[in-house]
Amino acid sequence: MEGMRLRGMADRYKAILSTPLQDRPTSDMMIAQLVEAERLWREQKKTERFLRASKLRYDSVLADVVYGADRNLTREAIAALSDCGFIMRAENVLIDGKTGCGKSYLACALGRQACMMGYRAEYFQMGKFIERIAIAKMEGTMLKLITHITKNDLVIFDDFGLQPLDNNSRLALLQIMEDLYERKSVIVTSQLPVSKWHEYINEPTIADAIMDRLTANAHRIELKGQSMRTKKLK
């Protein structure tokens, strides 16, 4: 079993061998237990692999998200997203709010939930995304990078609007949105309200195309309240 890389099955078989003879399962039950152990082991490894590849900024979980009227966030709103049905339906999630209000934390919690449910997710802080686009342009690997990004089921763009977009970044973002549209999902977080995103992109034609694909089928979350960082320090 180990030679065939059936680790879950091998570990379960060792556990069975360590039990007294009278307590061991029947042959048919043992086969069922071995197969189930292998399935669970593979699912666990797949989840671990997806989480590593996601490069999430925070190791956050939906159970730790703080709700309340002062934050303009309800359990019902997050419950509607927690089954990751929005990914199956290729819907986007747009999160805006002031600095420190928990936008990135919530986005990463949704990203983690996606990985746990078998979806590929990847996180990009917008400043580093712009740098990667610039490097890819110089190295001639732009198409390779965009193809890599769009293979994910969920792409997270964090801190949208903090750093100016250059033309290469605008075009790359447009291509990514075009490739993901009605096929995959995007989460975007920003300190800017969604109504200001068109102005931030700063190129009317490209902005129209990007915003049309982002907002056409999107869940909107507008976080409010004081900074969670400040609150935690207090």
213: CATH: 3.40.50.300
Question: pLDDT tens for residues 183-223?
Answer: 999 999 999 999 999 999 999 999 999 999 999 999 999 99
Tell me: do 63 and 48 sit in the same domain.
Answer: no
Domain count along the chain: 2
CA-wise closest residue to 156 among 53, 231, 225: 53
**Cα 121 to Cα 56: distance, rounded to the nearest angstrom:** 9
Tell whether the model's pLDDT for residue 118 goes beyond 60: yes
Residue 229 included in any domain = yes
Residue 228 included in any domain = yes
Residue 42 sits in which domain range? Answer: 7-53
CA-wise closest residue to 53 among 118, 138, 136: 118
Question: pLDDT tens for residues 82-102?
Answer: 999 999 999 999 999 998 889
Question: pLDDT tens for residues 162-191?
Answer: 999 999 999 999 999 999 999 999 999 999
Tell me: do 138 and 208 sit in the same domain.
Answer: yes
Burial zone of 199 (CB within 10 Å; 0-12 exposed, 13-18 middle, 19+ buried): exposed
Mean pLDDT, the chain, rounded, equals 93
Residue 2 included in any domain = no
Q: The tokens 């996606």 sit on which residue? A: 114
Tell me: do 45 and 105 sit in the same domain.
Answer: no
Tell me: do 79 and 151 sit in the same domain.
Answer: yes
Tell me: do 45 and 100 sit in the same domain.
Answer: no
Give the domain-ending residue among 37, 53, 69: 53
Averaged pLDDT, 124-134: 96
Residue 108 included in any domain = yes
Tell me: do 118 and 219 sit in the same domain.
Answer: yes
Tell me: do 28 and 124 sit in the same domain.
Answer: no
Tell me: do 151 and 177 sit in the same domain.
Answer: yes
CA-wise closest residue to 213 among 168, 163, 165, 155: 155
Neighbouring-strand partners of residue 157: 124, 188
Tell me: do 11 and 109 sit in the same domain.
Answer: no
Residue 1 included in any domain = no
Tell me: do 109 and 205 sit in the same domain.
Answer: yes
Tell me: do 118 and 177 sit in the same domain.
Answer: yes
